[in-house]
Chain A
Amino acid sequence: MAKVHEITVWARGVIMDKEGRDVINIFAQAAQMEGKFAQAFDNYEDLPDRVLVTVRKYVRLSDEAIEHKYVYTNDHPEVVVVIEPTIVKGIDILRGMEKGGTLIINTNRSIEEMLKFIPNANLLGTVATVDADAITGVRTVDFSGSEGGGDTSGIGKGIASPMAGAIAKVTGLIKKENLAKIVSDVSGMERGYNEVKIKKLG
């Protein structure tokens, strides 16, 4: 079986639930356009309908059909994306990560400042930050697209587009050209791609 790339996205319930889900949907659709096999789904145990609760969203990419049967969590994430920076303080976001993983945070703070809050940062190979809030100017677009709702604002209208651009650049798993066909905010995605700050750790 080919290697399965696991990507975990951390967001906050209600206020960033749609943004978190947009990131995984954009990412999985772009991977499928390149002929990869992709899965994108929310965590089943989390409480996305409670304001501010941390929620997890997952993507899996592979060159062959993914044979993870009945497993609905990413137990060994290769890439961890944090949509709201305060999450790094309260949760072990790197749990299960193997050495040399990647962390991407949406923040305007410096990488060194964020690493202070992560006691197990020695697992990381790459850390990147992108100020997606400043690029789009909004943090919450709307509350549609949650369970049972319709998605009226389009996929990637808010901070999801710059985050997806940043992930594409840092991980190299998907191409920017395919992202541009999916997201509704193409300029935001381009800015996220260009403005992400990357630091390699020893």
Chain B
Amino acid sequence: MAKELPGYGTIDVPKDRVVPFGAVTPAPVCQQDLFQTSNWRIVRPVKDDEKCTRCLICYLSCPDACWVYKEEEDVMEWVNNFCKGCQICIQECPSGALTAAPELDFPDGVVRLNKPF
């Protein structure tokens, strides 16, 4: 579907991405692989599945949607290549299931880039 934008010409919106005005979409629907931000991290959140109550407050509070609820396995999944280590989820977790661990304690989990971003 071609859409007129004043001053910008037209853009082609794929049919499955077209939404009505005011729609609420489950976001994000895809990952921006050109902007990996895992190397911003000094510490990473480590979860304790025993303490986690699946209240989804980490999912709500994460600015970058780095906590995903896996319904089949009933666990929270951490998206390591976009987490910036802001520690908001650790502050907000009501059951204390998340702790901050230094990134250098882990051998991997960071996307290695040639330039800062």
**A-side interface residues toward B, CB under 8 Å?**
12, 45-47, 51-56, 84-87, 89-92, 95, 107, 109, 113, 116-117, 119
CB-based contact B116/A86 at 8 Å:
no
Point out the residues of chain A lying under 8 angstroms from B116, CB to CB: 45-47, 53-56, 91
Point out the residues of chain B lying under 8 angstroms from A85, CB to CB: 104
Complexed CA–CA distance, A113 and B104 (Å): 9
Chain B nearest CB from A129 CB (Å) reads: 12
A sample of 6 inter-chain contacts (CB < 8 A) reads: A12-B40, A52-B40, A52-B85, A85-B104, A90-B41, A90-B111
CB-based contact B112/A91 at 8 Å:
yes
CB-based contact B113/A53 at 8 Å:
no
Complexed CA–CA distance, A31 and B107 (Å): 38
- Nearest to B114 among chain A residues (CB) is A92
Q: Which residue of B42, B107, B113 contacts A86 across the interface (Cβ within 8 Å)?
A: B42
CB-based contact A87/B112 at 8 Å:
no
Chain B nearest CB from A172 CB (Å) reads: 29
- Nearest to A10 among chain B residues (CB) is B116
Q: How many residues of B contact A (CB 8 A)?
A: 20
Query: Considering the complex, which residues of chain B in the window 43-74 have a beta carbon less than 8 Å from any beta carbon of chain A?
Result: none
Complexed CA–CA distance, A47 and B38 (Å): 16
Q: Which residue of B38, B86, B104 contacts A109 across the interface (Cβ within 8 Å)?
A: B104
Point out the residues of chain A lying under 8 angstroms from B103, CB to CB: 86, 89
Q: Which residue of A55, A92, A117, A119 contacts B104 across the interface (Cβ within 8 Å)?
A: A117
Summarize B's interface: helix, strand, loop or mixed.
Answer: loop
Point out the residues of chain A lying under 8 angstroms from B39, CB to CB: 54, 86-87, 89-91
CB-based contact B113/A90 at 8 Å:
yes
Chain B 74-108 interface mask (CB, 8 Å, partner A; 1/0): 00000000001110000000000000001110010
Instruction: Please list the 5 inter-chain residue pairs (A to B) with the smallest Cβ-Cβ separation, ordered nearest first.
Output: A90-B39, A52-B40, A54-B116, A90-B110, A86-B103
* Interface residue? B117 (CB, 8 A): yes
- Nearest to B42 among chain A residues (CB) is A86
Most chain B CB within 10 A, of A51, A54, A55, A91, is at: A91
Complexed CA–CA distance, A56 and B38 (Å): 18
Complexed CA–CA distance, A174 and B39 (Å): 32
CB-based contact A54/B110 at 8 Å:
no
CB-based contact A95/B114 at 8 Å:
yes
Complexed CA–CA distance, A90 and B103 (Å): 10
Chain A nearest CB from B90 CB (Å) reads: 15
Chain A nearest CB from B46 CB (Å) reads: 15
Q: In the complex where A92-B114, A95-B114 touch, is A52 in contact with B104 (Cβ < 8 A)?
A: no
